[in-house]
Amino acid sequence: MRRLLGSVRARATLAATLVVAIALVAAGAAVLISLRTNLVHQADAQADSAARKVAADLAAGLAYDRLDLPDGDENPVLVVDRQGRIVAAEDDVERVDVAGADPVRPGESPATGDGHDEDDGDDEDLPGAGEISGDVQHLQGAATVDGDTEDYQFAVVDVTTPHDVTLTVYAGAPLSAEQDAVGTALTAMLIGLPVLLLTVGGATYVVTRRALRPVEGIRAEMAAITASEDLSRRVPEPGTHDEIARLASTTNETLAALEASVERQRRFVADASHELRSPIASLRTQLEVGAAHPELLDVEGAVEDTVRLQRLAADLLLLARLDAGERPQDARFDLGELVREEADGRQGVRLDGVTSVEVAGSRGQLARVLANLLDNARRHARERIDVTLRAEGEWAVLEVADDGAGVPEDQRERIFERFVRLDEARSRDDGGAGLGLAIARDVAAGHGGTLTVRQAPRGGALFVLRLPLRRPPG
C-alpha cells in the first residue's frame, strides 16, 4: 500500500476521487434536504387546504353529519370538540396519532384532551362565532386507514360555529410521495455514486498516466545517462508547452552545462599536466646531470624551474578554490592604496587619477588580480602602462591600459580562458601558463564584479575591472 501511494498517479487518482466523493456527498445531501423540504411544504399546503375547507363548512353552520369530508386515504380528517371528543371523521379512518396528542379513534374519547378544555385560560385566543382561526399548526403524525398505517403531515385549525361551539379540525396529507421520492433519489445516489467515483478514478488515472509519460521518459533517460556516464545524451522533450516540456528543456540545459563543466575540467587537468610536465622534466634533467657531473649543475636554472612550479601550483590551487565556490573575506580596505602598492617599482607604470576607494573583499585575491593585470600589460606594452581608479555610482572602476598591439575583437573573450596564450610563438617563461587573466576574471566574479577588455586610447589593450562598493548578499 505504501509503495502504491508512492506513485504520483495513485496519489492524484486518490485525491481526485476523494474530492469528487466529498463534493457529491455534499451535493446529494443538499438535494435530498431540498427535495424533502419542498415535498413537505406541498403536503402542508394540501393538508391546510383540506382543513380550511372543513373549517369553512363548520363556520357556516353545517351539521357534523353533513360535512363533505375528503377520502381518508388522501386526507384523513378529524373534528374534535373542546373536551377532546371526535365529533366527525371518515368511516375508514381507524386511528390518528398526531405529535403532542394521545392516539385517538372515532367513537372514543382520549384519556387526555388536546389542550382545548374549557378551563385552559386561552379563550381569548379562540376565534369568534362563525370564524376560523388565522393560525394553522403543521404537525407530523400517522394515521391508520382501512388497516394501513402511513405517515401524514397534519394541519390543525380552530373554528367556532355560529352556535358558539369551538372545534379543532385535523386534516392530514400523505407523506408517501415525499418518502418515495427521497427513497428513489437516495437509491439512485447510492448506486450512481460508486459508479461515478470509479469513472472519475479511472479517468484520472488514465489522464495522469498519459500526462506523466514524458516524465517517465525523462527519468529513464536520466537513469541511462547515469549508468553510461555519457553526458552528451539528452532527455526527450515533448512537443507540448506545459510544465513537463519546460522541465525537459531545463534538464537538457543542466546536462549541457554539466557536460561543458566536465569537459572544461578535463581540459584543465590535461593542460595542467602539460604545463607541469615541462618544468618537471627540465628540473629532473638538470638534477640528473648534476648528479653525474656536479660541475655542470645549473643551480640558477633549477631554481627558476622550481619557482615556476611553485607559481603554477599556487595558481592551480587558487583556481580549485574558486571553482569550489570559496567566498572571499568580507573585509573593507582602500583599493587605491592597494593599487599604489602593486604599481610601486614597476617600470613604465603611470598612475593617472588613482583615488581612494573603499571596497569589501579579499585583499590578497584582489592584489593577485592587480599583479596579473600589470604583468600582462608589461609583457605587451611598448613603453608605458596607464592605471586609473575612480568611483562610478555604486562601483569602483579600475582601468589598466597599455600601448601595445592590443587584443583582436574576436579574441577578447578567449583570452580569459585557462591556459590560453594568443601569442603561441613566445616562450612559456615570458608568457606564463595562461592562467593569470582567467584567475583575475574568476576573482572579480567572486567579488560580485566584472573584468572586460577593449581597445585602449593608445591602441593597446584596456582592461576594466568593476567592483561593487558594497558586497552583494549571498
Each residue's pLDDT tens digit, 255-291: 898 888 788 777 777 777 777 777 788 778 878 877 8
pLDDT value, residue 108: 52
Is residue 186 domain-shared with residue 274, that is, in the same domain? Answer: no
Q: 45 lies in a domain?
A: yes
Please report, for residues 212, 248, 375, the alpha-carbon distance to residue 242 in angstroms, rounded to integers and kept in the order given: 12, 10, 52
- pLDDT confidence tier of residue 424, bands split at 50, 70 and 90: very low
CATH number for the domain including 262? 1.10.287.130
pLDDT value, residue 99: 65
pLDDT at 109 over 50: no
pLDDT tens digit sequence for 219-250: 888 898 888 888 888 888 888 778 888 888 89
- pLDDT confidence tier of residue 386, bands split at 50, 70 and 90: very high
pLDDT value, residue 73: 63
In the chain, what is the straight-line distance between the N-terminal and C-terminal CA atoms, in Å?
A: 43
pLDDT tens digit sequence for 319-377: 778 877 777 777 889 999 999 999 988 888 899 888 889 999 899 899 999 999 999 99
Pick from 276, 306, 323: which residue ends a domain?
323
Is residue 364 domain-shared with residue 444, that is, in the same domain? Answer: yes
Bridge-based pairing of strands 461-468 and 450-455 is antiparallel
Q: 268 lies in a domain?
A: yes
Is residue 318 domain-shared with residue 335, that is, in the same domain? Answer: no
Question: Residue 314's domain spans which residues?
Answer: 243-323
Is residue 98 domain-shared with residue 114, that is, in the same domain? Answer: yes
pLDDT value, residue 271: 72
CATH number for the domain including 384? 3.30.565.10
Helix, strand and coil content of the chain, in percent to the nearest 5, comes to: 50, 20, 30
As a whole number of angstroms, the distance between CA 443 and CA 446 comes to 5
Pick from 197, 230, 263: which residue ends a domain?
230
**Residue 87 cell numbers, joined:** 365529533
Q: 199 lies in a domain?
A: yes
pLDDT at 104 over 80: no
Is residue 172 domain-shared with residue 222, that is, in the same domain? Answer: yes
Q: 236 lies in a domain?
A: no
Q: Is the pTM for the entire model greater than 0.85?
A: no
Q: 473 lies in a domain?
A: no
Is residue 17 domain-shared with residue 151, that is, in the same domain? Answer: yes
Domain count for the chain: 3
As a whole number of angstroms, the distance between CA 50 and CA 93 comes to 15
Q: 235 lies in a domain?
A: no
Buried/exposed 183-209: b ≥16 CB within 10 Å, e otherwise: eeeeeebeeeeeeebeebbeebbeebe
pLDDT tens digit sequence for 38-54: 888 888 898 888 888 88
Is residue 319 domain-shared with residue 342, that is, in the same domain? Answer: no
